[in-house]
Amino acid sequence: MINTNKKIQYFLYQYTPAILLYTSILSEIDFNNSEFKYFSFNFAYILIFHYSLKREGSIGYIIIFIAGLFNDVVNGIPMGISSLTYLLLCAAAAYLRNITLRPNIIKDWFFFLITVMVLNLITFVYLIFFFEYKINYFDQIINIIFTFLLYLIFSHLFKIYDNVILGKFN
């Protein structure tokens, strides 16, 4: 009985990020394009950046790559663009982890902002110049702002969740 409980807790600890990532991508409740006009944020960015930074290997690169492909197909954008941005986000998080000696949430937060802006820039350039998409820049700015603002809250929530699961696991 205890073994089964531990197995469940291990499963939750190990696979929750990946499950959350795929749920957010495949689910029709999409915060990235919410019903509200002035509210949207990219949950996948927050999740990938947080777990790549705080728990290396919790979401495998292959899983992230496939999630990106899923996101592209579901959203109807050219295949590979989300995979590229997600992997670059992982790279940014890994770089920050490598150069950080004393972790500071505010530094992480602003580094996340810069990364998200650069990644969105890459996406926009690719979509506009290669595929002639029309983009509503106002919506995208709102998306970036809320993704940046909500990173702190979600990062805190993920930490609490990990602590709860880990506490029970230990």
Interacting span for another protein (CB under 8 A) from 3-11, 105-113, 124-132, 157-165: 124-132
Which residues, numbered 24-43, are part of the site for another protein (CB under 8 A)?
Answer: 26-30, 32-33, 35, 37, 40
Return the range that interacts with another protein (CB under 8 A); candidates 5-13, 56-64, 110-118, 152-160.
56-64
Tell me if 135 contacts another protein by CB under 8 A.
yes
Span from 1-9, 84-92, 104-112, 155-163 in contact with another protein (CB under 8 A) = 84-92
78 part of the interface to another protein, by CB under 8 A? yes
Annotate each residue in 5-24 with x if it binds another protein (CB under 8 A) or - if it does not, as one string: -----------------xx-
C-beta contacts of 101-109 below 8 A and 24+ residues apart: 105/152, 105/155, 108/53, 108/155, 109/148, 109/151, 109/152
72: CB partners within 8 A, 6+ apart: 78, 79, 80, 81, 82, 83
* CA distances, 116 to each of 37, 42, 110, 147, 167 (Å): 21, 10, 10, 8, 32
